[in-house]
Amino acid sequence: MDRTAYLDSALSFVIGRIAEQAKLSGEPLSDKQRLLLNYLPCSGPANWDPEIPVLVPRNINLERVCALAKAAYQHDRQANPTSLDWEFAFAVFTLDRHPMRGLLQWAGMKLHRPRWDGLLLIVTALLPIVAVVLLVWNADRSLFRAVGIGSGCVAIMLLMFFASRRIEKQRLEEDIERCRPASTRSAA
């Protein structure tokens, strides 16, 4: 899997569709909007404090680009519901942690998670409770056993964290392979 080629393909598709939607709306993308599409901001301010409100001026260009992306996505879903181009782009942007993912989320795309993700979340939440119960139950035993129970709990939680990240990466790679356009299939 060539992630760079997939990212380039997904970027050209999304930017092309947004530019096409802008032309259909009667007002093509301005140079600032095109530049914004190519260099989306990664995140908010680095020294953000929730206690101190930060006033951020409206970014009319970003608002228009987001509205165009939403209109293009909705138009494509209505015109061709079986097309997987948008899902391909979203999976690529999610896997690469690209800022375009936020734009597609704003346009209405969601990451589909399997049903058993909720069960894993519940198990992860119950694990520290089980560890505390075991510690209390073995309180009259040796300190070595208590340290073993605590270390085991931390080890299992770390294992679950890294395993869930690996599973999510594999799931995204499978989505990319399932959804990738025919033009990238012939190149592979």
- Here the tokens at position 157 are 């939680």
Chain segment 105-129, per-residue pLDDT in tens? 888 888 777 777 777 778 777 877 8
State residue 125's pLDDT score.
79
State residue 2's pLDDT score.
74
State residue 148's pLDDT score.
80
Chain segment 35-85, per-residue pLDDT in tens? 888 888 765 544 545 566 666 778 888 889 889 999 999 999 899 888 888
Q: Longest Cα pair distance anywhere in the chain, in angstroms?
A: 77
State residue 73's pLDDT score.
92
- Is residue 72 domain-shared with residue 10, that is, in the same domain? yes
DSSP secondary-structure letter at 53? -
Among 27-31, 61-65, 113-117, 171-175, the minimum mean pLDDT is found in 113-117
State residue 71's pLDDT score.
93
- Is residue 79 domain-shared with residue 117, that is, in the same domain? no
- Is residue 49 domain-shared with residue 118, that is, in the same domain? no
Domain final position from 55, 77, 111 = 111
pTM of the model: 0.72
Mean pLDDT confidence for 128-150: 76
- Is residue 106 domain-shared with residue 143, that is, in the same domain? no
State residue 124's pLDDT score.
77
Domain final position from 90, 111, 132 = 111
- Is residue 62 domain-shared with residue 144, that is, in the same domain? no
State residue 23's pLDDT score.
92
Mean pLDDT confidence for 89-103: 89
- Is residue 107 domain-shared with residue 183, that is, in the same domain? no
Distance CA 94, CA 169 (A): 9
CB 96 within 8 A of CB 7: yes
- Is residue 90 domain-shared with residue 33, that is, in the same domain? yes
- Is residue 186 domain-shared with residue 118, that is, in the same domain? yes
**Ramachandran sector of residue 157 (left: φ over 0; alpha: ψ -120 to 50; beta: rest):** alpha
State residue 50's pLDDT score.
57
CB 3 within 8 A of CB 98: no
Indicate the pLDDT class of residue 185, thresholds 50, 70 and 90.
low
Distance CA 23, CA 21 (A): 5
CA distance readout (Å), 55 to 51, 60, 61: 13, 15, 18
- Number of independent structural domains in the chain: 2
Domain final position from 80, 111, 142 = 111
- Is residue 102 domain-shared with residue 122, that is, in the same domain? no
pLDDT higher than 80, residue 169: yes
- Is residue 25 domain-shared with residue 103, that is, in the same domain? yes
State residue 63's pLDDT score.
86
Radius of gyration of the chain (CA): 23
For residue 174, the enclosing domain spans 113-188
